[in-house]
Amino acid sequence: MFPEDSIGPALRLLADAFPVYRLLHEIGNGSARISEIVGALKGYSYLGQAPVQAVNLHEGIDNTLVILRNKLNKGVTVHCDYCSNLPLIQAYGGELNQVWTNLLDNAVDAMDGKGEITIRSRTGDGQVFVEIEDNGPGIPAEIQSRVFDPFFTTKGPGKGTGLGLSTAYSIITEKHHGSIFLESHPGSTRFTVQLPIENALSEQTRS
């Protein structure tokens, strides 16, 4: 047992030590977080890599989620239901990540920052499919045909340019010869991106 007269100094010593340990722990967590963000940014932008290459779609989506984590953490739960054998595809990885960013950012805004997003991937008929679905209020049927039009937005003034979905549409359909579809009703808005596995990108498209 400790001598009675040593308990006070020992408690003071522990009180002084614990904040230091907590601070070191926080610094360690912060350093790991910074390292994760830097790695995600490098993967997100494909910095220093060829514009067209074999792309792992799941890695691109995961990097995008890291970049958007601050916005997602405020009240959005993300569920990833990934296909276990999704193949690599020839693609512009950095530009596909712009698509995931635009779709996820729109989903968060549509739910007013609170709700659930489900990301699914699958394959079929020589194609890969990525679905991004939110459980927000949905997009009214009368405007669904316009969501990919340039400068069309349902956001308030100063909150959106109306170029996010039109840019995503261009990247998927023109640069990757794929398709993007919308299905929406109250409680569910789902964008499905379809990309060919064997993507013969033309030299004109590559330039």
Average pLDDT over residues 121-138: 96
* Model confidence band, residue 30 (pLDDT cutoffs 50, 70, 90): low
Residue 173 to residue 183: CA distance in whole angstroms: 18
The pLDDT value given to residue 14: 47
Residue 25 to residue 103: CA distance in whole angstroms: 35
Are residues 36 and 133 both part of a single domain?
no
Last residue of some domain: 45, 64, 80?
Answer: 45
Are residues 116 and 199 both part of a single domain?
yes
Positive or negative, the CA dihedral 118, 115, 182, 172 is negative
Are residues 107 and 171 both part of a single domain?
yes
- In this prediction, what percent of the chain has a pLDDT beyond 70? 69
Are residues 25 and 116 both part of a single domain?
no
Are residues 41 and 56 both part of a single domain?
no
The answer to whether residues 77 and 116 touch, using CB atoms and an 8 Å cutoff, is yes
Are residues 176 and 74 both part of a single domain?
yes
Structural domain range at position 148: 52-206
Are residues 8 and 57 both part of a single domain?
no
Q: Is the whole model's pTM more than 0.85, yes or no?
A: no
Are residues 17 and 41 both part of a single domain?
yes
Are residues 36 and 57 both part of a single domain?
no
Last residue of some domain: 28, 45, 62?
Answer: 45
Are residues 7 and 64 both part of a single domain?
no
* Model confidence band, residue 51 (pLDDT cutoffs 50, 70, 90): confident
| Residue 54, token pair as written in the block | 């074999």
Separation in Å, CA 75 to CA 71, 105, 116, 118, 156: 8, 13, 9, 14, 21
Instruction: Please write the tens of the pLDDT for every residue from 188-201.
Output: 999 999 999 987 66
Instruction: Please write the tens of the pLDDT for every residue from 163-189.
Output: 789 999 999 999 999 999 999 999 999
Are residues 182 and 88 both part of a single domain?
yes
Arithmetic mean of pLDDT over the chain: 80
Are residues 99 and 30 both part of a single domain?
no
Instruction: Count how many domains the chain has.
Output: 2
The pLDDT value given to residue 202: 45
Strand-pairing partners, residue 133, are 118, 190
